């Protein structure tokens, strides 16, 4: 049984201008939000500090917990519930801590544990993560370098595998995907952590894989139907690969939705980045990469594609 008709003839390129406007508005909203909402919410991995996950035997008043930690002068911190409500777990993030108590990351955990165990019954520390401020800055720089170099490497690969027009089209789509994912992180306030960076790099690999499948069919059709217009070849190529695109993206999305809903708080942001990235990557392969290639082929025509 086939998923789609063999003679499918959807006019994807006919909507390329609408798609360009929508994508531009989303990215513009992300840029505005970045400057008006305080930028990206970097996790402890990148800003330095300590995360302490604590569990209580009975439910606790979050206001009382916050007052107790404030009274002990642990510095700037955030406190939030974690996991299922019945688990009575809380996450405490300490950044730019007071030097008197927290000159080292481990000191933060010790102060927090002492405060909570002495003032609240049944408190137990489940997890501690510490990163120094200098290490955090280095990790942040390395993370952005990894994203940049991966995009450049993809550009070189596609350039050698196809032509420079294809390389530019694929990179524009990748940059679009990364910016859309970051836009949603700006507006949702989710933390940018090392697993999220790994998810963004995974999205780049997934997106370019889908784009290359479409580009390969476009190149074949350019060679087979040299008298046809580029717009027609683009539409035919996307329609011919649409079944593969939907099957691959659909099965991947099914897994990611399951991880996002049932995987737990620790990998929730990672799953969210992948979920958004795969969805946007599928869209950009059709509505960003292909229109950019069409524009470049029209603007800089070549004897072979």
The pTM is what? Answer: 0.78
What are the structural domain ranges in the chain?
13-43+135-299, 49-131
Task: With beta carbons less than 8 A apart as the criterion, state whether 9 and 235 touch.
Answer: yes
DSSP, collapsed to helix, strand or coil, labels residue 141 as helix
In angstroms, rounded to a whole number, what is the distance separating the alpha carbons of residues 199 and 191?
13
At 57, list the tokens.
């035997």
Q: What's the confidence (pLDDT) of residue 6?
A: 59
Burial readout 201-239 (b: 16 or more C-beta within 10 A, e: otherwise): bbbbebbbebbbbbbebbbebbeeeeeeebbebbbbbbb
Q: What's the confidence (pLDDT) of residue 230?
A: 79
In angstroms, rounded to a whole number, what is the distance separating the alpha carbons of residues 22 and 293?
19
DSSP, collapsed to helix, strand or coil, labels residue 79 as strand
In angstroms, rounded to a whole number, what is the distance separating the alpha carbons of residues 304 and 272?
41
Task: With beta carbons less than 8 A apart as the criterion, state whether 104 and 15 touch.
Answer: no
In 138-267 the beta strands, taken as DSSP E runs, fall at 191-192
Q: What is the CATH number of domain 13-43+135-299?
A: 1.20.1640.10
Task: With beta carbons less than 8 A apart as the criterion, state whether 241 and 213 touch.
Answer: yes
Q: What's the confidence (pLDDT) of residue 202?
A: 87
Q: What class, spelled out in words, does domain 49-131 have in CATH?
A: alpha beta
Place of tokens 């720089």: 141
pLDDT tens by residue, 99-126: 444 444 446 677 777 778 878 877 888 8
296 bridge partner residues: none
- pLDDT of the chain along its 305 residues, tens only? 455 565 667 888 888 899 999 999 999 999 999 999 888 888 777 777 777 888 887 887 788 888 877 776 666 677 777 777 778 888 877 765 444 444 444 466 777 777 788 788 778 888 877 777 677 778 888 888 888 888 888 888 888 877 888 888 888 998 999 999 999 999 998 888 888 888 888 888 888 888 888 888 888 888 888 778 878 888 888 888 888 888 888 888 888 898 888 877 778 888 999 999 999 999 999 999 999 998 988 888 766 54
In angstroms, rounded to a whole number, what is the distance separating the alpha carbons of residues 11 and 287?
11
Angle at 155 between CA 14 and CA 244, to 5 degrees: 50
pLDDT tens by residue, 17-52: 999 999 999 999 999 999 998 888 887 777 777 778
In angstroms, rounded to a whole number, what is the distance separating the alpha carbons of residues 83 and 85?
7
* Backbone phi, psi, residue 55, to 5°: -125, 145
Q: What's the confidence (pLDDT) of residue 103?
A: 47
Task: Give the containing element (helix H, strand E) for 238.
Answer: helix 230-262
């Amino acid at each position: 049984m086939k998923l789609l008709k063999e003679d499918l003839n959807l006019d994807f390129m006919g909507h390329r201008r609408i798609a360009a406007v929508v994508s531009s508005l989303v990215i513009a909203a992300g840029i505005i939000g970045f400057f008006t909402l305080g930028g990206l919410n970097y996790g402890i991995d990148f800003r330095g500090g300590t995360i302490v996950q604590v569990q209580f035997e009975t439910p606790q008043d979050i206001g009382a917990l916050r007052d107790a930690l404030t009274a002990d002068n642990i510095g700037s911190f955030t406190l939030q519930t974690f996991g299922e409500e019945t688990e009575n777990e809380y996450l405490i993030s300490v950044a730019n801590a007071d030097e008197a108590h927290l000159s080292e990351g481990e000191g933060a955990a010790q102060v927090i544990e002492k405060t909570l165990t002495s003032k609240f019954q049944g408190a137990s520390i489940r997890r501690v993560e510490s990163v120094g401020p200098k290490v955090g800055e280095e990790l942040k720089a390395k993370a952005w370098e990894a994203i940049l170099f991966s995009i450049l490497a993809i550009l070189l690969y596609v350039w050698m595998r196809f032509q420079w027009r294809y390389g530019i089209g694929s990179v524009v789509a990748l940059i679009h995907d990364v910016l859309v994912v970051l836009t949603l992180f700006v507006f949702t306030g989710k933390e940018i952590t090392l697993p999220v960076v790994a998810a963004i790099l995974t999205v780049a690999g997934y997106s370019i894989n889908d784009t290359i499948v479409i580009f390969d069919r476009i190149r074949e059709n350019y060679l087979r139907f040299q008298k046809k217009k580029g717009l027609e070849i683009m539409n035919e190529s996307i329609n011919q690969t649409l079944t593969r695109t939907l099957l691959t993206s659909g099965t991947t999305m099914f897994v990611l939705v399951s991880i996002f809903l049932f995987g737990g708080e620790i990998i929730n942001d990672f799953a969210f980045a992948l979920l958004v990235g795969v969805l946007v990557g599928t869209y950009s392969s059709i509505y960003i990469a292909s229109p950019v290639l069409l524009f470049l082929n029209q603007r800089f025509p070549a004897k072979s594609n």
